[in-house]
Amino acid sequence: MIADKEKASKDYASGNIKVLEGLEGVRLRPAMYIGSTSKTGLHHLVWEIMDNAVDEAMGGYCDEIKVSINKDGSVTVEDNGRGIPVESHPIYKRPAVEIVVTKLHAGGKFDKSNYKVSGGLHGVGISVVAALSKLMKVVIKKGGKIYQQEYKIGKPVYDLKIVGECEKKDTGTIVTFWPDDSIFSTLKFDFSVLETRFREIALLNKGLKIILSEESSGKKETFHFEGGLIEFVKWMNKGKEEVHKPIYFLKEESGIVVEVSIQYNTTYQENVLSFVNTINTVEGGTHVAGFKTAVTRAINDYANKNKLNKDENLTGDDVREGLTAVISVKVPEPQFEGQTKTKLGNNEVKGIVDSICMTYLTMFFEENPTIAKRIVSKSIEAQKARNAAKKAKDLVRRKNAFSVGGLPGKLADCSSNKTEESELYIVEGDSAGGSAKMARNKEYQAILPLKGKPLNVEKANSVKVFSNEEIMNIITATGTGVGEQFDVAKLRYSKIIIMSDADVDGAHIRTLLLTFFFRFMPKLIENGNIYIAVSPLYKVRKRVDHYVYTEDELKKIVSKLGGNVNVQRFKGLGEMNPEQLWDTTMNPKTRLLNKVTIEDAAKTNEVFSKLMGDDVEPRRQFIAERAHEAQIDI
């Protein structure tokens, strides 16, 4: 053993240490910097450039940003900020803009005299975009002159040069980049994805104007809100019955700015969005923890002081039922988890947000007793529903106690107890469930068949939700629990796969299940645990069987095989025998799975509210606007 170690030590010498020069490391491991090389990563390039422009706006130096999706596949981001410095760097003896673009961790964000707060923190944003673009052009207006430099995969094409003159008052930066097709799986920018994010940014920075345009379609949108967060919560509550006018407060403490707007509606869902330096922290963090603690304590204090609640204290789930809120904090030195910035880790922020929210909410409740009593009343109703739901859950658990390990009797579990290799198929109907049980690999694939259509949780209170046997079977099978009891560490399967028929009813069942996961177990979607099985539409036979998943694919394969082919349309999973089901939908080597992700929480919430809520008119309008996109299978 010692000899082997010595040999290995000799083999692992200084010559084995590879130094990646410049931006090579970014191109070698792009996902480390932008999350992925798919559509999400592609749009992350825009966010990085946009962050720099927004930082100028937060500093008070910029009030207009223009973003254009160009016909040639490039994107241009133009701001009227101060412009990236062009003077020679004192150490590197090259123009500062060149250093910022070509070197990682170079930028003005590290010196708080330049930016008090910023979204771009690591000094890698623009340099990462340069590294992952086949070409990037930077134009700077500064001091009456227009400067320009271009870069190919992060390397300067020529020295910074003056290309024109401008008014001295005209300043700003224009960045145009062409993403590298050898890095990204798609180069198509989605107008709606950019639109949603830019609306958020404008709502978070009152007074800032953002203009988005797309050259090929002629689409153009302008985002400009003077109401800020108040308009944000109103927009989130659009189409819902409000309990009161928005509560709003803004306060700075120890250099940290806390801005919050709150408005309850009559639904049963909680919808809290959080931002740090305008970055959407989809996984929350210390600022959200501080906010939730304060809301729970403030409502309990008011209820107890005014003898409004005779039972035990209200829980966090009770007080957040029907709550819509936006929390925006500006932090000079934020600590994010990873470059993609989805969770805040600063411990000191929790106490500051808690203290500020507690102070303002206590004062607001004292000054607005009518609204305070409405909120307390809604929370007490939620408490009663929770207690009734607990009894309903206990009944379901007692029924399940007779099955193996307290799991649902319908569940055909797998033999493996390793979460990372186990899969749970939620299958539409007993017929398909029977085929799936015979088709599966029993070692790592579990099957949970559903009876009928799942409950629409968007329209149901918690009593009805937790009284529903099918919903309780899903909760019990996954093992995580829901609400404040949710614990992702208890998840029993790494993949939860929705498998329904390739027809209108199957699509409806998928939507109902996705509504449940989004409202009650959103962390599973954020973690990438929820999938949709893609089942075939047709079987084409000519000597051998070909399984086809789209209409376009059918046309191509029929054309390729020539005439006298036999085409069978699958209307349901139950029509397939176990071998077919395994080959097409369950075999990891041949199946197609769609991973469910949340690109934008606010937009997702709006769509679920429209499609699954009580209000008919917004749903009718949504269907009318999108009807041309639908492929109706009769």
In whole angstroms, how far apart are CA 401 and each of 218, 261, 405, 409, 467? 61, 45, 7, 9, 16
Question: Following DSSP, what letter does each residue of 238-301 receive, concatenated?
Answer: TTS-BSSPPEEEEEEETTEEEEEEEEEBSSS--EEEEEETTEE-TT-BHHHHHHHHHHHHHHHH
Q: Is residue 354 packed enough to be buried (19+ CB in 10 Å), middle (13-18) or exposed (0-12)? A: buried
Expressed in percent and rounded to 5, the helix, strand and coil fractions of the chain are: 40, 20, 35
Where helices occur in 29-92 by DSSP H, the ranges are: 31-34, 39-58
User: Which one-letter DSSP state was computed for residue 144?
Assistant: T
CB 27 within 8 A of CB 131: yes
In whole angstroms, how far apart are CA 43 and each of 79, 438, 491? 18, 42, 31
Give the residue numbers marked as catalytic.
428, 501, 503, 505
Structure tokens of 79? 């701001």
Angle between helical axes of 469-478 and 369-400 (0-180°, round to 10): 80
In 3D space, the residue among 118, 109, 92 whose CA is nearest the CA of residue 22 turns out to be 92
CB 86 within 8 A of CB 97: yes
Question: How far is C-alpha 559 from the geometric centre of its chain's CA atoms?
Answer: 40
User: Which residue in this structure is represented by tokens 């959200």?
Assistant: 288
In 3D space, the residue among 504, 501, 500, 453 whose CA is nearest the CA of residue 631 turns out to be 504
Question: Following DSSP, what letter does each residue of 197-228 receive, concatenated?
Answer: HHHHHHHHSTT-EEEEEETTT--EEEEE-SST
Rounded Cα distance between 466 and 474, Å, is: 11
Q: Is residue 575 packed enough to be buried (19+ CB in 10 Å), middle (13-18) or exposed (0-12)? A: middle
Structure tokens of 411? 């569940």
CB 146 within 8 A of CB 134: no
Instruction: Return the half-sphere exposure (C-beta side, CA atoms, 13 A cut-off) of residue 568.
Output: 12
DSSP SS3 for 156: strand
Pairing of strands 145-152, 133-142: antiparallel
In whole angstroms, how far apart are CA 526 and each of 485, 499, 629? 17, 20, 27
User: Which one-letter DSSP state was computed for residue 109?
Assistant: T
Pairing of strands 495-499, 530-533: parallel
Rounded Cα distance between 399 and 394, Å, is: 9
Angle between helical axes of 347-367 and 286-305 (0-180°, round to 10): 30
